[in-house]
Amino acid sequence: MPSVTATVPPPPLRFVEYRLPGSCQVRAYTSKRALVSRDDAERGTTELLLLDLSSGRNRSLLSMPVAGAQGLVFSGCTLSDDVVAWEEVSPRDADFPEETVWRLFACGYDASKGLVGSPVLVDGSDRGARSRPLFHVDGQAVVWLSNARRAGGYSGRVQRFDVASGERSTVLEAATPFDTLSLSERRVLVTRETTSGAEEVLSLSPGERKPTVTKLSGGMPSHFPAMHDGAVAWAVLKPDKPWPDLFLSDSKGRRLLAPDALDPVFAGDYLFYESNEASDAPRDHCQYGSIWGIRPGTDGKFRLLLTEVSVEGWWQTALAQGYVDDVFVVHNDLSPWNGGKDRSTLVRVYRFQRRG
């Protein structure tokens, strides 16, 4: 398989940068706002914040888990311009997966007022009966994947729940488990391993019954594939490597985009991704974190950001972020680095000209 090796200067992208107090992570974003989780290590608590991407103002959405009295804590979360969804999980699930308890909640919100009404329990499972959910929000609806335990293995099911109407439906189901779930431009992207051991992406738009199937190569994806305008990007973890390789399929064919890279995000005319780099200088052996980009259909990639991790922190993309045509957001939690002297998080918002 050919590789993308040429590098080009980065395009002159405009951005604004905000500084949030504490250890934060951008979990998801739209053109207007981002959902941010802020952890307080000393108290062992997590708060969900709504960040306005134009002004930098933020407000608290949730400071306590709904099922906190049952010992559950915040985990993943995501949003649209209308609805926020989040998972609450028993904190010992990593050590005792068979005892995992999880609840998936959703609620409408107003950007100036916070949550509207009471959170709705979308789904849940006790004692590992079903796998923890992978979920996204499409307008007023939550779309989620959970594999159910059965004799001899797991069966896969993707469901959709409309928070406004309460209507529930099945999007996709199979007698074998699904691996990942993404959502981009209202298309649901589900990966699964075939009987031959290959990996494929099943994609459906709302109302479609038969998914479009895209075969992947290189092995099983280690993170969430991304798709836009006929291009697909996916990362594959090799047995002897700590970081995966990132592949791209576009009008140029299938190519190895970068080794030691992951978390692809399509935004505007570009595909962005994280990369782990090491210094070539023998004196320091420094680790560098970087954000790279490429315009699909071209042969040159560009480095957008580069930091020495131990001093300047690590810029990260939002995990499984869907396509947004006019904005790309990265964050850099400075708390773990530089001896903990700076307990804040930088959020950088790149803006593009809207298409059309």
Locate tokens 């999007």: which residue?
Answer: 171
Query: Could you tell me the sign of the dihedral formed by the alpha carbons of 5, 10, 13, 15, in that order?
Result: positive
CA 65 to CA 241: how far, in whole Å?
37
14 pLDDT above the threshold of 90: yes
CA 354 to CA 356: how far, in whole Å?
6
CA 58 to CA 141: how far, in whole Å?
24
Angle at CA 76, nearest 5°, toward 75 and 77? 125
Phi then psi dihedrals of residue 310, to 5 deg: -65, -20
pLDDT mean across residues, the chain: 91
Question: Which residues partner with 126 through β-bridges?
Answer: none
pLDDT of 127 reads 76
Q: How confident is the model at residue 280 (pLDDT cuts 50, 70, 90)?
A: low
Query: Could you tell me the sign of the dihedral formed by the alpha carbons of 216, 218, 219, 223, in that order?
Result: negative
CA 279 to CA 9: how far, in whole Å?
20
Query: Could you tell me the sign of the dihedral formed by the alpha carbons of 313, 317, 318, 320, in that order?
Result: negative
Q: Which domains does the chain have, with CATH numbers?
A: 6-351 (2.130.10.120)
* Strand 300-308 to 6-7 pairing: parallel
Question: Which residues partner with 120 through β-bridges?
Answer: 106
Sheet strands (E) in 151-230:
153-162, 168-174, 180-184, 187-193, 199-204, 212-215, 226-228
Percentage of residues of the chain with pLDDT beyond 70: 94
* DSSP class per residue in 278-289: E-S-TTT--EEE
The better pLDDT of the pair 72, 152 is held by 72
pLDDT 10s digits, 101-142: 999 999 999 999 999 999 999 999 987 788 889 999 999 999
pTM attached to this predicted model: 0.93
Locate tokens 């989040």: which residue?
Answer: 86
Segment 51-59 shows an average pLDDT of: 97
pLDDT 10s digits, 322-352: 999 999 999 999 998 877 778 999 999 999 9
pLDDT 10s digits, 300-329: 999 999 998 888 999 999 999 999 999 999
The better pLDDT of the pair 209, 296 is held by 296
279 pLDDT above the threshold of 80: no
